[in-house]
Structures are given as C-alpha cells and as structure tokens.
C-alpha cells in the first residue's frame, strides 16, 4: 500500500498485523506511477459500505493509472468499474476476497488479460483522450 497524501499510522499498524499487507508510505504521483510498474496487479476494490452510491457510478483515477502502467486490475463488483473492466477485458472482478486465489490460478485467463492491458494501455491515458475532452468543452461552449 502507498498512502495518497502523507504517512498514515493506520496503514502502518495494518501492515504490522498482516504478513500479506506491506505499507510503503507516500510517494509523489510521478514516482508512484514508475514504482507500481514492478507489480503484477493493481487493486481497485473499495469499501462499499462507506459510499455505495458513489461506487456504483465512479471510475477512479487509480483504475486508469494501473492500466496505463500495464497492470491488470483486481476489483470488487463496483458497477461502473465492473462494466469498464469487463467491456475492455482488463481485469478480474471479485464478489468476495476469498475468490482471489482461484481466479489468479487460471493462467490462461490471466495471460489473456495481461495481453489486452498491454495492447490497450495507452488508450486509457489523458494524452490519448485529451482531444475528446477538448471537443466536449467546445461543444458545451457553443
């Protein structure tokens, strides 16, 4: 885990309590994007009890950052995220964390997902899509 703003004692305690969680502190966004390329997956599963309405409609920056870094995404079944991941075939959707090991053991599926991510990773960047954003703004101004 990397914290988004500053060092977080809660994350530090959580990492101490679990051999599966590693806390690396905070990194500047540019450094973080470079750093995460060394990992196998990006985790975009959120706590749906806190704001379920928001999670049904949001595509977080984190999702696009993982993809642009070449990482397949693992997520819980957050509606908008699920639709995006399934439409583009760029990740795994879990209903329960207990499914993770079984899903990751399907080497054929994982290889196909990795290939789609690598083939399409630049399609999800701001640089690739800025023209569409500008066109939208111009159309709204007119």
What are the residues facing 91 on neighbouring strands?
73
Q: What is the CATH number of the domain that holds 46?
A: 3.40.50.2000
10 and 77 housed in the same domain: no
Q: What is the distance, to the nearest Å, from the Cα of residue 99 to the centroid of all Cα atoms in its chain?
A: 18
79 and 49 housed in the same domain: yes
Alpha helices (runs of H) in 1-142, residue ranges in sequence order? 9-17, 29-35, 52-57, 61-68, 79-88, 100-104, 107-120, 126-141
29 and 48 housed in the same domain: no
Which of 12-21, 35-44, 45-54 shows the highest mean pLDDT? 35-44
45 and 27 housed in the same domain: no
pLDDT digits (tens, 9 = 90+) for 55-69: 778 788 889 999 999
Number of domains in the chain: 2
Q: Which residue range is the domain that position 24 belongs to?
A: 1-38
- Model confidence at 34, pLDDT cuts 50, 70, 90, reads very high
């Amino acid at each position: 885990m990397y914290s988004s703003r500053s060092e977080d004692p809660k994350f530090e305690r959580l990492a101490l309590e679990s051999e599966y969680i590693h806390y690396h502190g905070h990194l500047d966004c540019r450094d973080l994007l470079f750093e995460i390329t060394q990992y196998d997956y990006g985790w975009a599963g959120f706590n749906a009890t806190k704001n379920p309405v928001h999670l049904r409609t949001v595509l977080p920056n984190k999702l696009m950052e993982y993809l642009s870094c070449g990482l397949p995404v693992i997520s819980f079944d957050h509606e908008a995220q699920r639709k995006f991941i399934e439409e583009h075939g760029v990740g795994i959707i879990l209903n329960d964390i207990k499914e993770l090991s079984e899903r990751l053991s399907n080497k054929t599926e994982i290889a196909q997902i990795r290939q789609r991510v690598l083939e399409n990773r630049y399609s999800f960047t701001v640089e690739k899509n800025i023209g569409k954003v500008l066109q939208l703004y111009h159309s709204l101004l007119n």
